[in-house]
Chain A
């Protein structure tokens, strides 16, 4: 394919429109922020730092959305993992890596509960994960911590939470970037990733072509639980205590970022790069609002409108794509269906 063809395709693609929006936001806030501090090195690092936990949740949720499901429980699993981590480390007897492994296994456990409810009992994934998250995981975090935020004083974990490489870039930022890079390549370059797209596009056709959608669903839910737990661990490392509000409120923004990044509902398409750009846009936007000293209540309003805008753009682009290829009658059914 010649360069012009690739370029034309790129322009029409989702990544380009995301980059434009990102530029728009950067320029807008660069201009308005007091002495243009929006683009200062510290602020960029702050933005990346604020994205760390969101990246983990977004990666967990994006793969599931591509495969046609949705998961609202990682935020709550994160809090449960954080509380368990703090409880395990309290006595100082349990070494940190044992505690980390236990928490990750616990995250996988909650993920598997989600998988069983969705696959075995055919419960719709969003109500099943909501139930597991808001009740089971949250209840578990209260029980394991006895209702109080246990301080964490383990040296390695506190280092993890606060250390900065070259005194600028926090370790957690590097971890999160590494994770989105690894999962991005898995999704686009490996056969497992290809399987996620194929099962998301047409589960029965994939099964008849030798893939195993059920196993994949179990794997993805377990992975989502694990990444949720990992985010919980990083959260505890950063604030050095098992706070019980923890990352409960992170599930919704993660799904927002994933949709914003062009991963369409009902699976089948969308890339991890889009997801990263979506996150960058949302966090840069929120950061900008804070710098301009916008009251947080208005930030709630703005983040709701941001998601609606994302859904509108997704609607317009799918409509344009539809008009191009599917015969009219099939499209009429698809739209009404």
Chain B
């Protein structure tokens, strides 16, 4: 009987954003189906629904015609579905064999672990994965690439009917990628359903049979891999009527002198990067996840230690030991992960906005609460943050509003920000709020602030920035002005070794 997996009218919303909007996809066994689309297109939400992490608001998942709704990851594993996420869930202090057979430890009589059996079976899988690793090695001591292979082995060992890969090859070397593809081939022959999510065009065309393209939470189209080409795929992925979201931006055209110059910067994750930022310029940084863009900005911001190279702010060489020093010299960073690095969720909007300017707000001994309240009020009105009072906990805000609170913090009246670094500012935000943020970026630029925009959304970087730098594994692989930059060129540069 042919295996089928159907997503029927799936929709899922989070506060402020419609992640999936009535998506129906059908995938047949014995084929590798790719899920393509920009960040925030809804790919990972779809996988999380398959794995039982999220429960869909509407629609259902049908496996081999049978309707299944998973309320916990364990249920989906039991229904022979394995999803391999990017953030690995491994037991670092335990051995390879225990990790691979984590939910199915072989028991001999009265509960004892049948170690020899376990070791034999693990060795079998290791051989098929061609890994230079022994079953009793401690996972924590292995390289990231090997750890990723062990995560994949876990799914392979379960012999699930449906296996989904989410960006599996990011940390792998070419040799391991080749091994992985051979295994996927074997799984295909055994009629398994395989979902494959990746940004790497080369891989898509190498192993997938058909491609499902998602955009802004909706199904765009599906292709037979053999029938399509890269250009057509990219156009489908990003072919948004660019007109409305970006055309409407009142751009800043007064670009002044050099504001920030970074020369031969080397840190643990960056090797020898140099770039300049001019006053009023929006400098876009494109690249895949893990290209080192966040690490670069954290180094400039003084959050991570710099090994060598120097940073010139308005011509003067600076060496920030802590974020506080960077902030005092006018640099602001909106971190990539709003919840864990951006906001103090248990405190109010007012607290989060006034955080960096507390010294300026305290008269003699005490905090000037009136000044603080007016500061918060002006930020709330400037960014149209939807909230009844400034006392509302940031915990209770939508993604878009949370991002605005952070923007409000760095551009409040008491901050004389010279450089504003935005790391994935529109991640997980609905399209409407995105347009507002793009306009704000250019308003900041027109006030003479140098803006650095890091984004994995191709169209956003291309259309919002004045100048684009493309990075891959810690190095700059290309510099394009707005006019000469095209999606294909940027994708190519972001995948080039």
Contacts and interface: CB of A to CB of B under 8 A. Distances in A.
Instruction: Note whether A and B contact each other (Cβ less than 8 A).
Output: yes
Interface of A: 1, 185, 189-191, 194-195, 197-198, 201-202, 204-212, 268-269, 325-327, 329
Given A209-B323, A269-B346, A189 B366 contact: yes
Given A189-B367, A329-B54, 5 more contacts: A194-B354, A198-B347, A201-B347, A206-B355, A212-B324
B358 A191 contact: yes
B15 A190 contact: no
A195 B396 contact: no
B303 A201 contact: no
Contact of A210 (B324, B389, B395): B324
B15 A211 contact: no
B335 interface: yes
A210 B323 contact: yes
B393 A325 contact: yes
Interface string B312-328: 00000000001110011
Contacts of A210: 323-324, 327-328, 355-356
* Interface SS of A by simple majority: helix
Contacts of B327: 209-210
10 contacts: A191-B358, A194-B351, A194-B358, A205-B341, A205-B342, A207-B303, A208-B323, A210-B323, A212-B322, A329-B53
Contacts of B356: 209-210
A204 B340 contact: yes
Q: Which of B343, B355, B395, B409 has the most CB of A within 10 A?
A: B355
Given A205-B343, A212-B324, A198 B14 contact: no
A268 B362 contact: no
B362 A191 contact: yes
A314 B323 CA distance: 35
B138 interface: no
Contacts of A194: 351, 354, 358, 367
Contact of A190 (B340, B342, B367, B409): B367
A267 to B, nearest CB: 9
Contact of B395 (A190, A208, A211, A325): A325
A201 B361 contact: no
A201 B339 CA distance: 11
A190 B359 CA distance: 10
Interface residues of B, number: 38
B322 A202 contact: no
A194 B367 CA distance: 9
Interface string B190-223: 0000000000000000000000000000000000
A190 B344 contact: no
A191 B347 contact: no
A312 to B, nearest CB: 21
Contact of A204 (B328, B333, B341): B341
Given A189-B366, A210-B324, A325-B396, A198 B343 contact: no
Nearest to B298: A208
Contact of A202 (B340, B359, B366): B340
Interface in B5-64: 14-15, 53-55
Nearest to B303: A208
The CB with the most chain A CB atoms within 10 A, among B342, B358, B395, is that of B358
B53 A208 contact: no
A197 to B, nearest CB: 6
Given A1-B389, A202-B340, A327-B15, A207 B323 contact: yes
Interface of B: 14-15, 53-55, 301, 303, 322-324, 327-328, 333, 335, 340-347, 351, 354-356, 358-359, 361-362, 365-367, 389, 393, 395-396, 409
Nearest to B354: A194
Contact of A205 (B53, B344, B358, B395): B344
B416 to A, nearest CB: 14
Contacts of A206: 344, 355
Given A190-B366, A195-B358, A201 B346 contact: yes
Given A190-B367, A191-B362, A208 B341 contact: yes
A137 B15 CA distance: 52
Contacts of A195: 358
A207 B366 CA distance: 22
Contacts of A269: 346
B341 A190 contact: no
A206 B54 CA distance: 30
A201 B344 contact: yes
A197 B351 CA distance: 10
B351 A268 contact: no
Given A205-B341, A208-B333, A208-B341, A197 B347 contact: yes
A212 B393 CA distance: 23
Contacts of B344: 197-198, 201-202, 205-206, 268
A209 B395 contact: no
A288 B249 CA distance: 71
Nearest to B326: A210
Contact of B409 (A201, A209, A211, A327): A209
Contacts of A190: 362, 365-367
Contact of B340 (A198, A205, A209, A327): A205
Contact of B359 (A191, A198, A212): A191
Contacts of B354: 194
A28 B246 CA distance: 70
Nearest to B415: A210
Nearest to A267: B346
A206 B346 CA distance: 12
A216 B296 CA distance: 27
A178 to B, nearest CB: 16
B447 to A, nearest CB: 21
Contacts of A197: 344, 347, 351
B295 to A, nearest CB: 14
A213 to B, nearest CB: 10
Nearest to A329: B54
Contacts of B396: 325
B361 to A, nearest CB: 7
Nearest to A198: B344
Contacts of B55: 329
A191 B361 contact: yes
A212 B327 CA distance: 12
B345 A202 contact: yes
A24 to B, nearest CB: 29
A269 B393 CA distance: 12
Nearest to B54: A329
A198 B54 contact: no
A238 B327 CA distance: 50
For the complex of A and B, 7 pairs with smallest distance between CB atoms: A201-B344, A191-B358, A268-B346, A209-B355, A210-B356, A210-B327, A189-B366
Contacts of A209: 323, 327, 355-356, 409
A191 B53 CA distance: 41
Nearest to A264: B346
Nearest to A185: B366
A195 B53 CA distance: 35
